[in-house]
Every structure is written in structure tokens, then in C-alpha cells.
């Protein structure tokens, strides 16, 4: 069966931190690339209060089978108590690009597979 690709969205309060985080994940082979938006605005409820804060966002492209490892690595690296880390399916795209994502990422660790 052909490896499925997905997009993982992660937000953070600091665009420079998010860039460094993305470089770590690319360097470790957990993601092929990240497309970052340096300025977004997040409105959310946290501990009973509504917040309206500037943030940054990155869209990471990876194998679907690596999602648990990306989530675990993000928990280790991210400064937030509960960071936004969501995986979205990619239902299609340029076959050459999708093959490139798979080629540029590693096989999942056996112990981390869901």
C-alpha cells in the first residue's frame, strides 16, 4: 500500500521559535518541509478566560504514519502546556510532490506506532 501523506498544523507564540522547531523536525526526518505564516491571530478560551493573541503557524508535510512521533516530539519541544497540533488528511495533489514528501521522511519508529 502506498504511504499516505498528511499536513500537521502547529501554532506557537514566537515565529522564530517555530522556525527553529521546524528545522529540528526536518533535520530529524520527521517532516519533509514546513510552510510558515509568521503572523496569525488566535482567539481562544484558556483557563476560563478569552484570549486574543498574536501567534505564528506552520503547516508540516509528512507521512501519516509519523503523526504520533511528531505529536510526541512537539510535546517535548513546545513551550505551551497544550500546543495546537492537528493532523489533516491530504486527499490528493501532485504525485511527484507526495512521493518527495515520503522520500524525505524516515520510516516510523516501531515503538511509536499506533
Helices 67-77 & 15-27, crossing angle to 10 degrees? 130
- Specify the pTM: 0.92
pLDDT tens track for 7-26 = 999 999 999 999 999 999 99
pLDDT tens string 94-106: 999 999 999 999 9
Any idea which architecture 5-109 has in CATH? Answer: 2-Layer Sandwich (3.30)
Q: How far apart are CA 101 and CA 91, in angstroms?
A: 14
Element (DSSP H or E) covering residue 15: helix 15-27
Helices and strands, number each (H, E), in the chain: 3, 4
Amino acid at each position: 500500500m502506498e504511504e499516505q501523506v498528511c499536513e500537521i498544523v502547529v501554532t506557537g507564540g514566537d515565529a522564530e521559535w517555530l522556525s527553529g522547531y521546524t528545522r529540528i523536525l526536518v533535520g530529524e526526518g520527521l517532516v519533509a518541509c514546513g510552510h510558515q505564516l509568521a503572523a496569525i491571530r488566535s482567539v481562544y478560551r484558556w483557563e476560563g478566560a478569552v484570549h486574543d493573541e498574536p501567534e505564528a503557524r506552520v503547516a508540516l508535510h509528512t507521512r501519516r504514519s509519523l503523526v504520533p512521533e511528531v505529536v510526541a516530539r512537539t510535546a517535548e519541544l513546545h513551550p505551551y502546556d497544550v500546543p495546537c497540533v492537528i493532523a489533516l488528511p491530504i486527499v490528493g495533489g501532485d504525485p511527484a510532490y507526495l512521493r518527495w514528501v515520503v522520500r524525505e521522511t524516515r520510516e516510523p519508529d516501531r515503538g511509536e506506532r499506533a
